[in-house]
Amino acid sequence: MNLWTSAEIAGATGGVASADFTVSGVAFDSREIGPGDLFIAMKGEATDGHLFLDRAFAAGAAGALVSEATERPSIRVDDTFAALNALGAASRARTRARVIGVTGSVGKTSTKELLYAALDRCAPGFAHRSVKSYNNHTGVPLSLARMPREARFGVFEMGMNHEGELAALTRLVRPHVAIVTAIAPAHREYFPSEEAIADAKGEIFQGLEPGGIAVIPFDSPHRDRLIAAARPYAARIVTFGMSEGADVRASYVVPAARGGSLVSAALPDANLSFTISQPGAHWVSNALAVLAAVDAVGGDLAAAGLAFADMDGLKGRGARRTVRVGDGEALLIDESYNANPASMAATLAVLGAEPVEGRRIAILGTMRELGPDSADFHAALAAPIEAAKVDYAILVGEEMDALADALGDRVPHVRAPDAASAIGLARDAIAPGDAILVKGSNAVGLATLVETLATGES
C-alpha cells in the first residue's frame, strides 16, 4: 500500500528528505515497525526514539522522520512531535472519507470497534480506525497519519483527562459525526464535578465539520448539558437511548439464546432488529450510538446489524476465555483494561446475569484517578456486587479497603495488595463451573493475572 511518499511527508511536515522512498505504514514505537513502515523518532521524557533507529530499520522500516542527522533514509524536521501532528493534519486534509469521532467516560473503545466493524461490513476494506486505545495527543495524529488515502470511513477515538484536551484533538480530527457514549466519574481527580467532565467531553463538538452531526446519550443526566455544548457547532443533534423520546431507541431488548441481546431499534426513518453478541445493557447502548452514526454517514444499517452479531469480545474489555481447572473448566471474563464506577457496575451486572454451575467470583482492582471521593466511589461498589449475587470477591489494591469495609461479612472476600499477590488467591479460589470477572484500572496490572490464569503459566 502506498500510504506516503517521502516527498509527501516532507511537504506535509516542512522537512527535508534525504532519499526517495515510499511507506505503507507509520509507527513511533520501534517494536511495532513492520516492513515498509515510516518510523517516527519521538523524543520523550523517558527515552529518545533516535536510539532505536537501527532496530526500526532492522525490522523493515522504509524511512524515518527524525530531528537529528542519520545516514538512514529519512525526512529531517526540527520537532518530530510537531511533524507527527502535521502529518496527521495532512492525512485529514487529503481524505474524502466520512470521519467519525468517539469520546465518553466509558465505552469509547468498544463503540469505536463496533462502529468500525459495522462500516467495514458496509464497505469491506475501506474503513479505517484508530487501533488499541490510541486516543491522546500522540495516538490521534498517529491514527490519522495511518489512514489510507482510499478510505471511505474513518473512526477515531478521542480521550482526555484535563479540560481543553479534547478541543485540540477534535480540531485535528474534524469529524463529520461526533459521538459521546456516556458521562461517568472517570478522571474525577482532575475535575471538580461530573458536570465539569460532561463539559470537557462536550468539547468534541467544537471540531465538527460544517453540516456535522452530534450523537448524544438521551438517558444521561447530562443530556441537556451536552446538547447545549453541541448546538453552536452541530447542524443536527441525534440522541440515542432506551427511553421514549430518543431519536434512536431500543424498543425491545431480550436476552439472546447464546448470550448477548436481541434488539429491536427504532430510528427516525427506519426500524431494525438485530442480535448483538456481547452481553450487557452497555453493549446495547453502544450499538444504538453506532446505528445513529452509521445512519448519519449514509452507511448500510442492515450490514451494521449483521456486524453486531459477529462482534467478538475485546481483550481487556469483555473478552471471554476458558480456564482449565482440574478436570473441568471455568469462564473468565476479561475486563482488565480499565475501570470506573459506571463500568464496574455495568460489568458486575453482566456477571450477575451469567448462568453458572458453580460460583460467581469477582476479582476487582482499584479504580484510579477518582480524587478525594475515591473511598466513597469504591465503597459504593458493594451494592452492585450484592445485586450480582457475587459469591466471592478478591479485592486488589489499597483503595479497595473502603469496599471491603462496606461489604462487611455479607459477601465473602479477601484482600490482595497487588495483582501478583492476587494470582495465587485466584488459583486457590477457582473451581470448575465458576464464572470469574476480572476488572480494574489498567495500572493495577490485572491483565497479567488474566493471562496467567488463562494460559496456566506459573
Q: What are the binding residues?
A: 104-110
Q: Which amino acid is at 67?
A: S
With CA atoms as reference, report the closest residue to 65 among 157, 141, 156, 152.
141
Cβ-based neighbour number of residue 130 at 10 Å: 26
**Residue 204 DSSP SS3:** helix
Binding residue numbers for ATP:
104-110
Residues 6+ apart with CB under 8 A from 150: 126
Spatial separation of the C-alpha atoms in residues 58 and 81, rounded to whole Å: 23
Q: What is the sign of the dihedral through the CA atoms of 329, 333, 337 and 341?
A: negative
Residues 6+ apart with CB under 8 A from 96: 152
Whether the Cβ atoms of residue 147 and residue 91 lie closer than 8 Å to each other: yes
With CA atoms as reference, report the closest residue to 74 among 62, 86, 91.
62
For 38, list phi and psi in degrees, rounded to 5.
Answer: -95, 125
Residue 190: enclosing H or E segment and its boundaries?
none
With CA atoms as reference, report the closest residue to 437 among 311, 340, 346, 368.
346
Task: Give the 3-state secondary structure of 279-306.
Answer: CCHHHHHHHHHHHHHHHHCCCCHHHHHH
- Supply the DSSP string of 432-454, one letter for each residue: TT-EEEEE--GGG-HHHHHHHHH
In Å, how far are 10, 158, 161, 199, 229 from 191, measured between CA atoms? 40, 18, 8, 10, 17
Q: Which amino acid is at 289?
A: A
Residues 6+ apart with CB under 8 A from 159: 103, 108, 133, 135, 136, 165, 166
Q: How far apart are the first and last CA of the chain?
A: 42
For 320, list phi and psi in degrees, rounded to 5.
Answer: -110, 130
In Å, how far are 268, 288, 348 from 253, measured between CA atoms? 19, 12, 19
β-bridge pairing 236-241 and 213-217: parallel
Spatial separation of the C-alpha atoms in residues 28 and 39, rounded to whole Å: 6
β-bridge pairing 413-416 and 392-396: parallel
